Amino acid sequence: MRWRTKRLTLDLSRRGEVMAVLNVTPDSFSDGGDFIDPQVAVRRGLQQAAEGAAILDIGGESTRPGAEPVSAPEEINRVLPVIRGLRGQWAGLISIDTSKAEVAAAAIEAGADIVNDVTGLLGDPGMLPLCRDAGCGVVVMHMLGEPRTMQSAPHYGDVVAEVRDFLAGRCGGLLAAGLDPECLCFDPGIGFGKTVEHNLALLRAAGSLAPADRPLLIGLSRKSFIGHLLGDDAVGLREWPTVALTALTREAGVRIHRVHSVRDNLAAMRMAEAVMGAVNAEHRTPNTEH
């Protein structure tokens, strides 16, 4: 299983990798405002890379429930200095977390390799041709509704079947539109228009959600359903449950884990892989091909 991006190809046949969250927003649910200064954000990204992240995912617009949208120029002003600063000091993979083609185009020009789109390339008609022509990696996510309204009253007949069918349908549509199948990665959208019960059902079925031979990405780090299950809303208490879920979902077959804290989640993933017999536990560098 390989995931092709604009510059490098990740070999995910035996090992998963970590995508580190780097939000340069004032209002993200967990770290809003912490990295709004580009210099601080670049230092944070380099720290995450040093801890073993294969991908740094840069986001300039919060997608937390109830979040208000920001303009493309504002989003570009937030993310470009960080992408340029990282690209000048690090050769690893950079992802832009956006649903706007204008932002994605500017990010790719600045050095981004991957577009991570919470709308599954449906929110902006320019996104699909941009990604196709750029040959970048693409994360296709499922979301019910939009960030402002997605948690108001999410309802499914069968959440697993509906999310699986959506991802399969998007895969078919994108391939028909000319995207390289090896450029595609899929995300069931934990917490994006899902109740706690929906999230748990998707986690139980994690091994069967992605289209055939395509990697699945899971983004559950510090999310509110963890606090609900713990009976405590303190974000700081969600770190170790996140680590536990990283190990569990890796065993189920998830290849990319999008997390805030790199070192602990990467360690949990590598231990799960060692038990699975999928990897030499001594080998820790990201497995990439030029």
Percent of the chain with pLDDT over 90: 81
- Confidence label for 71 from pLDDT (cuts 50, 70 and 90): very high
Residue 227 reports pLDDT greater than 90: yes
What pLDDT does 148 receive?
64
What pLDDT does 286 receive?
53
Rounded mean pLDDT of 45-51?
A: 97
Residue 62 reports pLDDT greater than 90: no
Rounded mean pLDDT of 255-260?
A: 97
What pLDDT does 124 receive?
96
Rounded mean pLDDT of 101-116?
A: 98
Percent of the chain with pLDDT over 70: 90
Reference 70, options 23, 113, 109, 110; nearest CA is: 23
CA distance 246 to 267: 10
Rounded mean pLDDT of 273-287?
A: 65
In a domain, 182, yes or no: yes
Residue 46 · residue 284 · CB < 8 Å: no
What pLDDT does 283 receive?
44
Residue 209 reports pLDDT greater than 90: yes
Number of structural domains, the chain?
Answer: 1
Residue 93 · residue 5 · CB < 8 Å: yes
Residue 59 CB-density burial (10 A; 0-12 exposed, 13-18 middle, 19+ buried)? buried
CATH of the domain at 191: 3.20.20.20
What pLDDT does 282 receive?
43
What pLDDT does 33 receive?
58
If phi > 0 it is left, if psi is from -120 to 50 it is alpha, else beta; for residue 135 that is left
- Confidence label for 68 from pLDDT (cuts 50, 70 and 90): confident
Chain mean pLDDT for the chain: 91
Q: What is the pLDDT of residues 125-183, one digit of tens each?
A: 999 999 999 999 999 999 987 766 656 678 899 999 999 999 999 999 999 999 999 99
Which active-site residues does the annotation give?
A: 223, 258
In a domain, 202, yes or no: yes
What pLDDT does 36 receive?
76
In a domain, 290, yes or no: no
Rounded mean pLDDT of 24-35?
A: 63
In a domain, 288, yes or no: no
CA distances from 190 to 17, 87, 177, 202, 222 (A): 18, 29, 27, 8, 11
What is the number of other CB atoms lying within 10 angstroms of the CB of residue 109?
12
Q: Where in the sequence is the domain holding 34, given as residue range(s)? A: 2-6+16-283
What pLDDT does 289 receive?
57
What pLDDT does 145 receive?
74
In a domain, 289, yes or no: no
